[in-house]
Amino acid sequence: MERLSSLYACALFELALERGSVDVFLDQAAMLRDTLQDEQCLRVLVHPHISAAEKHEVFSNAFAGHLHDDLLGFLFLVTDKNRENFLLPALSELIRLIERHQNKVTAQVLSATAYDGKQIDALREALSDKLRKSVEISLKVDPTVIGGPHIFVDGYYIDWTIKERLRDLTVHMKVGCSA
């Protein structure tokens, strides 16, 4: 599945470059991915008793005038070929390809509490300086991490959460006690 999704993404990326619409493709692919991740949209997308023609009509009604013709055509192609399961991975890969082309990355940040604007800006600036890339922050809040951030960005994994530090301390204590 990954290979076909990657092929679709590469073809769309080349099309975006050819058309000079890289920014448009990036914005619209992100919007489309976020929309189609909705549980109800996913059910319609992969429902075996909804024909490709009916899915085309849904897509046309929902996205015509809001989506580049090539991206709408991609939706039609995927439904015609009964490859709806490849759609979200292909869109995610397309976004990644465009962001890499534009020297951008998205940092997935997990924190016990929401960050205010100044904290997000400081984190963005620190990561941008370190990676020498433009960084967007995607923040998710999970109180179980207790405190500190868990960051995944550009292949790097940084875990400064108190939960992880407590886990490390427990391991060190067990090793120290058994020695």
For the chain, percent of residues with pLDDT exceeding 70: 97
pTM exceeds 0.75: no
pLDDT tens digits, 114-139: 999 999 999 999 999 999 999 999 99
pLDDT single digits (tens) 72-82: 999 999 999 99
Question: pLDDT for 28-46, tens place per residue?
Answer: 999 999 999 988 888 888 8
pLDDT class for 56, splitting at 50, 70, 90? very high
Q: Which of 15-19, 54-58, 111-115, 160-164 has the lowest mean pLDDT?
A: 160-164
The string over 47-69, giving b where at least 16 C-beta atoms fall within 10 Å of a residue's C-beta and e elsewhere, is eeebeeeebeebbeeebeeebbe
Q: Domains of the chain by range and CATH?
A: 2-100 (1.10.520.20), 104-178 (3.40.30)
What the block records as the tokens of 53 is 């023609």
